[in-house]
Chains A and B, each alone.
Chain A
Amino acid sequence: MQRLKPKSIPSCNKNFIFTAVKDDKRIDGRSSKDFRKLSIGFGLDYGSSVVSLGDTRVMCNITYQIAEPKAVKSCEGLLNIRVDLTASMIHTYEKVVEIMRMIEKNVKDSRCLDLESLCIISGEKVYALETDIIVMNDDGNLPECCSIALLASLSHFKRPDVSVVEDKIKIHSFDERHPIPLNILHYPFCTSFTFFDNSKFVCDPTQAEEQVCDGYLIVGSNIYREITTIHISGKSAITKDVVLNCCQLAIERSKFLTNFVKLVVEQDLKKRSTEGAEIGYAPLIRESSSVLCSYKKEEIELQEVQENYDDDDVIIDLEVAQNTKMYRYASDTVGIGEGRGQNWDFIDEFQENVENDENEDMYIEDEETTNNEDEPDSKAKQFSKRSKNSNKYQEITVEDDLSEEEVQILNPPEFK
């Protein structure tokens, strides 16, 4: 459903929601204590997750840096949380601050992450985790969704192993030594309750319900029955008993979420260790998008492939060229090859600390693999992955798509 500006909400909608809540009913058919469907997906990088709670979708990315610790806490790592609400234009800066402080209080003040394990050299170098929470779509209940995204990312994230040799820090790549997950002591999740007409409340409000509500209560709790944060706002008459009741419900929800997040993270990490499994966002997008149009692609027969080229620097592997398939998608669109799964890998940032000889996952710039002058991006540098078993650094042909694009096809068949 589209979003209405706050002042253009008709009074009939507001009255309807209030009347429906009295009967324990909501617009999307849920009861007042039902939560929406939750799904968590992980990206290729460790620490990148997308969480959708109904239509609310939030993405969280965790990256790390090596930095100096704070003077007061010299043996603790740093955790910076940033929330980005620019995608949903309806929110003011105040709302951004509210959500950011809520998440900060919930995660930082409750000390759910063991920051001392992020220390490398006490007083000098520690890991500084940068967390970026990006709200992609806001359909209500942002605090809960953001906290789930943050905790899912934190439990998924792995940092490189580090060894301190005299005064130098050596950061090992993911291939050298297994990366280390973070040490999370407990999982504090936020739960939102919105109030209508004094004591009636609903869990997991949608945007429409949030806009007309009288007040709201956000509780952060974990499975050890600890209440990490409480935030009450608005006009409704919330008494102490109501608060305690909501805390009970929040703890139940936390139990479910803790188990769910742990299960999903475990499944994803298992997938990564099996060969050929699809990981990352691409399979998720393919499943969830609706196909608006479809095309039938026809294969084009190549009439002739000749080994005829002027540029000596361009080396063509005949076998590859002959096995190349061309597809026709529309009257004026043709594709060469079909593309394969991604085989991108990390670029190690701290290359000066890593022994170069052993590292086979670096990207090199191949000036030699320029395309024909006709192609517009012949000046662009091309990258190719060095295969682990290949010793021929000068030869550019590798078994991936790039070589197919370099092939010069002569005498193409006529297109109508």
Chain B
Amino acid sequence: MTDTIVFPGFSIKSLIDEENEAKDKKIVIGPGLKRQINDVRAIKCGILRSRTSNNLIVYWIDSHQKRYVAVRGERVIGVVVGKGAMSVNVDIGTSELASLSLLAFESATKRNRPNIQLGDLVYARILSANKDMKTELICVTSQMKKDGLGVLPQGGFMISVPLRVCRRLLSPGCKLIEILGSKFKYEITVGLNGRIWIRSPSITETIYIVNTFLSVEDKDEQGMLDLYKQITDKFQVIVR
């Protein structure tokens, strides 16, 4: 039953019972599924997937969505739209602005605050995402290290894509970022809220890379393979 298209209301209880008769594993219900009293039902339309590890089976639904909903632990790109005394308001594409404390940066103290202006881009991790509260972001890992988070450098261009494009780019099977890297020198940041930031030394290259990522949206497996081939073949000679 996994890897088939399911509709909202579809019950996966039978599937769970079937696949877990003898095994004693813990079952984790992921996004797109909701547990009801005796039943687990799909609440989104999409493809049902599952993954088994040592003592866990995870079920989730892959759906097509453009609007991002904040989830704890995900890394996102946000635009600073408001500044306060001790925090900044960041737009991450959710229904409400998120707040990012100015102390949540590596080696930041009350006297030593990071240099953030309105309109800057930040790559941050979602600390808390409750539906009843404002989303909180931080720019350090749990070991208080930077690890790539923080204010993104000046320049570059940011694009918005559907969420599954970002997930596809970050999945282990996708080689697009590496293949482009073999031909171009560029910097890229992928946020799970459907935003990608790209910076390249020349304008033409940035435009080409941006358009490549924008075209990933409507390509299937074969289309991606064609795209890899096109990049490797077409750009044999680059005048720098």
Interface of B with A (CB < 8 Å)? 5, 66, 79, 81, 91, 117-121, 152, 154-161, 194, 197, 203-204, 206-208, 210-211, 214, 218
For the complex, give the distance between the alpha carbons of A290 and B219 in Å. 11
Determine which of A1, A9, A16, A290 lies in contact with B206 in the assembled complex, contact meaning CB atoms within 8 Å.
Answer: A16
The distance from the CB of B233 to the nearest CB of chain A, in whole angstroms, is: 19
With a cutoff of 8 Å between Cβ atoms, the chain B residues found around residue A27 in the complex are: 157, 207, 210-211
Assess whether B81 is in contact with A23, with CB atoms less than 8 Å apart. Answer: no
Assess whether A12 is in contact with B121, with CB atoms less than 8 Å apart. Answer: yes
**Quick one: closest A residue to B78, CB to CB?**
A8
With a cutoff of 8 Å between Cβ atoms, the chain A residues found around residue B214 in the complex are: 1
Interface of A with B (CB < 8 Å)? 1-5, 7-16, 19-20, 23, 25-29, 290, 293
Assess whether A2 is in contact with B79, with CB atoms less than 8 Å apart. Answer: no
Determine which of B120, B206, B208 lies in contact with A10 in the assembled complex, contact meaning CB atoms within 8 Å.
Answer: B120
The distance from the CB of B210 to the nearest CB of chain A, in whole angstroms, is: 7
Assess whether B5 is in contact with A12, with CB atoms less than 8 Å apart. Answer: no
Assess whether A29 is in contact with B207, with CB atoms less than 8 Å apart. Answer: yes
Assess whether A1 is in contact with B160, with CB atoms less than 8 Å apart. Answer: yes
The distance from the CB of A348 to the nearest CB of chain B, in whole angstroms, is: 43
Name 26 A/B residue pairs within 8 A (Cβ), A-sorted.
A1-B160, A2-B160, A2-B161, A3-B160, A4-B160, A7-B81, A7-B91, A8-B91, A9-B79, A10-B79, A10-B120, A10-B121, A10-B158, A11-B117, A11-B119, A12-B121, A12-B197, A13-B157, A16-B155, A16-B203, A19-B203, A25-B203, A25-B207, A27-B210, A28-B211, A29-B208
Assess whether A1 is in contact with B203, with CB atoms less than 8 Å apart. Answer: no
Assess whether B207 is in contact with A13, with CB atoms less than 8 Å apart. Answer: no
For the complex, give the distance between the alpha carbons of A14 and B79 in Å. 13
Assess whether B66 is in contact with A2, with CB atoms less than 8 Å apart. Answer: yes
With a cutoff of 8 Å between Cβ atoms, the chain A residues found around residue B160 in the complex are: 1-4
With a cutoff of 8 Å between Cβ atoms, the chain B residues found around residue A28 in the complex are: 211
For the complex, give the distance between the alpha carbons of A403 and B159 in Å. 53
The distance from the CB of A219 to the nearest CB of chain B, in whole angstroms, is: 28
Assess whether A29 is in contact with B211, with CB atoms less than 8 Å apart. Answer: yes
Which of A2, A5, A12, A16 counts the most chain B CB atoms within 10 A? A12
With a cutoff of 8 Å between Cβ atoms, the chain A residues found around residue B218 in the complex are: 290
The distance from the CB of B6 to the nearest CB of chain A, in whole angstroms, is: 13
Assess whether B158 is in contact with A12, with CB atoms less than 8 Å apart. Answer: yes
